[in-house]
Amino acid sequence: MSTRLATAGSTLISPQKSVILGASDCNEGPWEGIESDIEANVLALWSEDEDFPLILVTLDLLYPGRRLRDAIEEAAYPVPPERILVAASHTHRAPMTDDTKTGLGRPDVEYLDWIADTVSSLVRSVLTSDRVPITLRLGTSIADHSINRRLRKRLVLSSRPRLNKVVMAPNPQGFRDELLTALVVHSSGEDQPLAVLWNYACHPVAGPTQNAVSGHFPTAVRDGVRQYYNNSSLPVLFFQGFSGNTRPKASGQAQTLKSKVRRRLAGPVFERMKPHTYQKWMTSLTEVLLGAIRNAKILDSPKTSVRRISIPGSDFMDANKPLDHVYVSRIDLDTKVSFVTVSAEVVAEYAPILRQILHDRHVVCVGCADHVIGYLPTQEIMSEGGYEAGQFCKPFDLDGVNPKAPSALIRAFEQLA
């Protein structure tokens, strides 16, 4: 049996000045600096009988964007692009790095140049570091920390009252993907891991931070994992799941007496979490991940394989401009575990569809990868309407969702199988 080898590293990517935060509702307020540092984390995996490594890159950003993806590919050359996974945590409190969605914010040119150089240097450093033999361990838990954000209300009370519309509001009966996956990369013969990977589907929004940089819950959970291992520099890679219509469950709770009265009048609403509520929710999520880590079992096959499908963006979206391709990738870490990534914000309902298609293995669903085109709703969501069904298009500089988008995505999943 061939041996699996690995190297890993991390670096800070927090800005040193005031910048526009991606998809933030607080950019007009006073700049508050850094609430929690944001990072890039990289893991490279080799099998002895393969010519090139798998390179996994996670960024505490809204989306990676084309510039960063291109810079990482250049730094990793001659590693083929299909063997490179670049994924964002999707925090709404990080500098904008995607220059194609002006309605969500414009990148700061100096910061974009700096982060491209910084992440490229990290990738080159990881690829040239001494490789160590490793084992992979897989653990899972059920989190119960997110809530569906699509709710049909008979009466929507706002500046423009509406009847019988789907809006962003807590929906406890709506679908969510609560499967949390942990992968621990262990150096052979060592107690300390080389890196920890984890995956969960939940929008990093509704924290108490205003106009300040914050990695949101992925940063807090990363800190918790590092404390658990007593290693402040441990690379911890977070992969955002299919979370297009889910967000923190605690943000659906009434935070004040005023909000309770408002709910009486207008029905369920989302709120920004109070600091103690926010911390309690993140601490609880960290414990779920640590439980998965403690129960992780060794994966016995180091054989990897990759497949990447490129689909014209026009199959998914309508726009009066050229659209980038949508990439759907399958990365098999062994005979039992597959990462499936999509360069879009995929709604949670696609997770069980994908797992049914790849029913013979554990599937890690990853959204917000590479250059994100927009949301990918199901056919049912498109018929219901609401933000994920097409209202998102204006800030994404799009005209609409192609009615055939759901079938195009499922067809890609089937091709990967």
Please tell me the pTM assigned to this model. Answer: 0.96
What is the per-residue pLDDT across 207-218, written as a single tens digit (0 to 9) for each?
998 999 999 999
| Position 261 confidence tier, pLDDT thresholds 50, 70, 90 | low
Return the number of other C-beta atoms located less than 10 Å from residue 305's C-beta.
15
Separation between Cα atoms, residue 29 and residue 227, nearest integer Å: 33
pLDDT at 296: 96
pLDDT at 390: 97
Question: Does 109 or 269 have the greater pLDDT score?
Answer: 109
pLDDT at 21: 97
Separation between Cα atoms, residue 361 and residue 387, nearest integer Å: 33
What is the per-residue pLDDT across 34-84, written as a single tens digit (0 to 9) for each?
999 999 999 999 987 788 999 999 999 999 999 999 999 999 999 999 999
pLDDT at 63: 98
Question: For residue 223, is pLDDT > 80?
Answer: yes
pLDDT at 154: 76
Q: By C-alpha distance, which of 178, 187, 89 is closest to 137?
A: 187
What is the per-residue pLDDT across 293-349, written as a single tens digit (0 to 9) for each?
999 999 977 778 899 999 999 999 999 999 999 999 999 998 899 999 999 999 999
Question: For residue 190, is pLDDT > 90?
Answer: no
Separation between Cα atoms, residue 204 and residue 24, nearest integer Å: 11
Separation between Cα atoms, residue 287 and residue 112, nearest integer Å: 35
What is the per-residue pLDDT across 347-405, written as a single tens digit (0 to 9) for each?
999 999 999 999 999 999 999 999 999 999 999 999 999 999 999 999 999 999 999 99
Which single residue is written with the structure tokens 């993140």?
282
3 state SS for the chain: CCCEEEEEEEEECCCCCCCCECCCCCCCCCCCCECCCCEEEEEEEEECCCCCCEEEEEECCCCCCHHHHHHHHHHHCCCCHHHEEEEECCCCCCECCCCCCHHHCCCCHHHHHHHHHHHHHHHHHHHHCCCEEEEEEEEEEECCCEEEEEEEEEEECCCCCEEEEEEEEEECCCCCCCEEEEEEEEECCCCCEEEEEEEECCCCCCCCCCCCECCCHHHHHHHHHHHHHCCCCCCEEEEECCCCCEEEHHHHCCCCHHHHHHHHHHCCCCCCCCHHHHHHHHHHHHHHHHHHHHCCEEECCCCCEEEEEEECHHHCEECCCCCCCEEEEEEECCCCEEEEEECCEECCCHHHHHHHHCCCCEEEEECCECCCCCEECCHHHHHHCCHHHCHHHCCCCCCEECCCHHHHHHHHHHHHC
| Position 153 confidence tier, pLDDT thresholds 50, 70, 90 | confident
| Position 260 confidence tier, pLDDT thresholds 50, 70, 90 | low
- Those residues whose C-beta lies under 8 Å from the C-beta of residue 109, and which sit 6 or more positions away, are none
Half-sphere exposure in the Cβ direction for 198 (13 Å, CA) = 32
pLDDT at 163: 72
Question: For residue 182, is pLDDT > 70?
Answer: yes
Residues shown for the chain: 417
pLDDT at 115: 98
410, two tokens = 């499922």
Question: For residue 112, is pLDDT > 80?
Answer: yes
246, two tokens = 């889910």
pLDDT at 164: 76
pLDDT at 268: 84
- The stretch 135-162 carries a mean pLDDT of 87
Half-sphere exposure in the Cβ direction for 254 (13 Å, CA) = 12
pLDDT at 226: 98
Mean of per-residue pLDDT scores for the chain: 94
Separation between Cα atoms, residue 290 and residue 405, nearest integer Å: 37
